[in-house]
A and B are shown apart, each in its own frame.
Chain A
């Protein structure tokens, strides 16, 4: 499954909304449990990735509620409702529906 993110980079003003899209080449929705096997990670420079969103829309432990995930089957979105300075990072989508698991190419988010 090929994961394609858009855009590759994004500059947003502090307090404004940031939106990152992710498209999978085939559905990652498992019909038996109606769950999308799609996660979003944040990676800051020099650090390992951290989980933001699992199952397409479930925020990880301790993740601020300005982060939200949506979408189903092949089209997904990560939104940051009000950009903070600490949100500057690279964001990756990831499908864990079937091996080989795959990541999007990453979206670099900067402050405008």
Chain B
């Protein structure tokens, strides 16, 4: 059974940092591109970043470029999102998404709240 389990969310002050993790199981993690997608409370879906299966190709949304860093550890079957310089507008549920040519399987998400 494919599983993606995000963790690391929580309450952080503006300007602070968080590191999200996504533990993958039930498929060969090292063969898949992966994405982070976020959803602010009551709002729509916003793509954040993606990373190739081997980590050599990475792209970011303009809104997070220079502040967020995506990475992966294929030996640990884990995807990461390092978030620095957090702003109130980064408040959202962050989803980890597998890509099998098309983004197909989503984790349950982890909530990040940026507030003083």
A67 on the interface (CB 8 Å rule)?
Answer: no
Number of residues from A at the complex interface, CB < 8 A? 22
Specify which chain B residues have a CB less than 8 angstroms from the CB of A106 in the assembled complex. Answer: 44-45
Asked if B95 and A48 make an inter-chain contact with CB atoms under 8 angstroms apart, the answer reads: yes
**Contact A101–B107 (Cβ < 8 Å):** no
A-side residues, CB < 8 A to B, are: 37, 39, 41, 43, 48-51, 54-55, 60, 92, 94, 96, 99-106
B27 in contact (CB, < 8 A): no
Contact, CB under 8 Å: A51 / B44: no
Partner of A100, one of B60, B95, B109: B60
Q: Is the CB of A51 within 8 A of B102?
A: yes
CB-based contact A101/B50 at 8 Å = yes
Bound-complex Cα distance A12 to B62 (A):
37
Q: Is the CB of A94 within 8 A of B45?
A: yes
Check B103 against A100 for contact (C-beta < 8 Å). Answer: no
Contact of B59 with A48 in the complex, beta carbons under 8 Å: no
Q: A92-B44, A105-B44 are in contact. Are A100 and B59 (CB under 8 A)?
A: yes
Inter-chain contacts of B45 with A (CB < 8 A): 41, 43, 49, 92, 94, 103, 106
